[in-house]
């Protein structure tokens, strides 16, 4: 298989990394987890993704930061006792394979597949493909095809960690409707206006919001567009970051997760494919 000229393949600590450098952006992808680690548009040279300086980049555990792939369940919503199955599913802790790459006129296109998509907690026949377009924008699409003879239901998320200059000056626009607040026993609440972050935040917004803007003070910084989803998740651990072993105690000041998600059950009929997409671009 030939590899696109814009891609350099490197290995470190047993993990293979794809480094993309084209006319529009640079990016870095780990084949462990099928995990995007970096996206820097050349239009403004600003890193859009936050990666923990203490992230495990040796395959010992899922990577903290970038864009983890949650599949086939979100959080611990797998129907079994908490802790019996891995949080956020089993795709983010396995090695993925590069199936195809090519240089297009306006982006580098990459197709990745996991080692397996059938496992404890999800025993259905399906094919999962991660499609990446690295250009002036970063387009991330997770395709789930039902290759079996019966329908199945799953949940998923593109659990993106965004780099922000200062969480105290960060706000979100575009979010509306109600959300479920995990920090308050899943109470249903109305979206705050203005939407700022001033403490531990773990919210599932139960609306297919098409675009969220991350603002630095009053200046739009990053646009997050979504499709194929039913929810948007907003997360920042705040001072709880100190209890997360692969996160700096003050790391919460420079990150905010805005996740394109399907949390209310996506049913896929035999032969059908569901695709969830997040597009990240300068605002």
Q: Is the pTM higher than 0.95?
A: yes
pLDDT score at 84: 84
Catalytic residue among 78, 163, 205, 259: 259
Residue 82 banded pLDDT, cuts 50, 70, 90: confident
Right CATH for 7-282 from 3.40.50.300, 3.30.420.130, 2.70.98.10, 1.10.1060.10: 2.70.98.10
> What is the pLDDT, as a whole number, of residue 171?
98
Please report, rounded to a whole number, the percentage of residues in the chain having pLDDT higher than 90: 95
Question: Does residue 91 carry a pLDDT above 90?
Answer: yes
String of DSSP letters for the chain: ----TTEEEEEETTEEEEEEE-SSEEEEEETBTTEEEEEEETTT----B-B-TT---SSSS--SBSB-EEBSSSTT-SSS-TTSS-TTBSSTTSBEEEEEEEE-SSEEEEEEEES-S-BTTB---EEEEEEEEEESSEEEEEEEEE-SSS-EEEEEEE-PEEE-S-GGGEEEES--SEEEEGGGTTEEEEPPSSEE--S-EEEEE-S--SEEEEEETTEEEEEEEEES-SEEEEEE-GGGGGG-TTS-TTGGGGEEEEEEEEEEEEEE-TT-EEEEEEEEEE-
Looking at every residue in the chain, the average pLDDT score rounds to 96
Provide, rounded to the nearest whole percent, the portion of the chain with pLDDT above 70: 100
Among 51-55, 66-70, 77-81, 170-174, the least confident range: 77-81
Residue 28 has pLDDT above 90, yes or no: yes
Does the annotation count 259 as an active-site position? Answer: yes
- Checking if the pLDDT of 104 tops 90, the result is yes
User: pLDDT-based confidence at 251, cuts 50/70/90?
Assistant: very high
Mean pLDDT of 215-238: 97
Task: Report the pLDDT value the prediction gives residue 78, as an integer from 0 to 100.
Answer: 86
pLDDT band (50, 70, 90) for residue 83? confident
Task: For residues 45-59, give the mean pLDDT.
Answer: 97
User: Can you tell me the mean pLDDT for 107-130?
Assistant: 96
Residue 81 scores a pLDDT above 90: no
Q: Where are the domains of the chain?
A: 7-282
pLDDT, residue 6, reads 98
Active site residue 35: no
Q: Spot the catalytic one: 35, 78, 143, 159.
A: 159
pLDDT for 273:
98
pLDDT digits (tens, 9 = 90+) for 127-156: 999 999 999 999 999 999 999 999 999 999
């Amino acid at each position: 298989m030939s590899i696109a000229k814009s891609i350099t393949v490197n290995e470190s600590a047993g993990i293979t990394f794809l480094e993309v450098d084209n006319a529009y952006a640079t990016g870095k992808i780990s084949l462990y987890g099928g995990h995007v680690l970096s996206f820097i548009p050349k239009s403004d040279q600003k890193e859009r993704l936050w990666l923990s300086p203490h992230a495990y980049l040796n395959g010992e555990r899922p990577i903290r930061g970038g864009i983890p792939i949650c599949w086939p369940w979100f959080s611990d919503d797998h129907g079994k006792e908490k802790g019996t199955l891995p949080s956020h599913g089993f795709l983010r802790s396995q090695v993925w394979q590069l199936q195809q790459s090519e240089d297009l006129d306006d982006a580098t296109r990459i197709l990745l597949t996991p080692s397996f998509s059938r496992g404890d907690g999800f025993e259905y026949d399906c094919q999962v493909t991660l499609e990446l377009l690295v250009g002036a924008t970063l387009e991330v699409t997770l395709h789930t095809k039902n290759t079996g003879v019966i329908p199945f239901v799953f949940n998923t998320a593109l659990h993106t960690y965004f780099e922000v200059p200062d969480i105290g000056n960060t706000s979100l626009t575009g979010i509306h409707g109600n959300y479920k607040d995990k920090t308050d026993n899943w109470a249903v609440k109305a979206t705050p206006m203005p939407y700022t972050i001033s403490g531990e935040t773990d919210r599932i917004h139960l609306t297919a919001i098409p675009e969220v803007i991350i603002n630095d003070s009053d200046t739009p910084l990053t646009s997050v567009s979504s499709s194929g989803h039913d929810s948007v998740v907003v997360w920042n651990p705040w001072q709880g970051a100190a209890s997360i072993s692969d996160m700096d105690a003050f790391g919460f000041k420079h990150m905010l997760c805005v996740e394109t998600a399907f949390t209310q059950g996506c049913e896929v009929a035999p032969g059908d494919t569901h695709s969830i997409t997040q597009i990240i671009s300068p605002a």
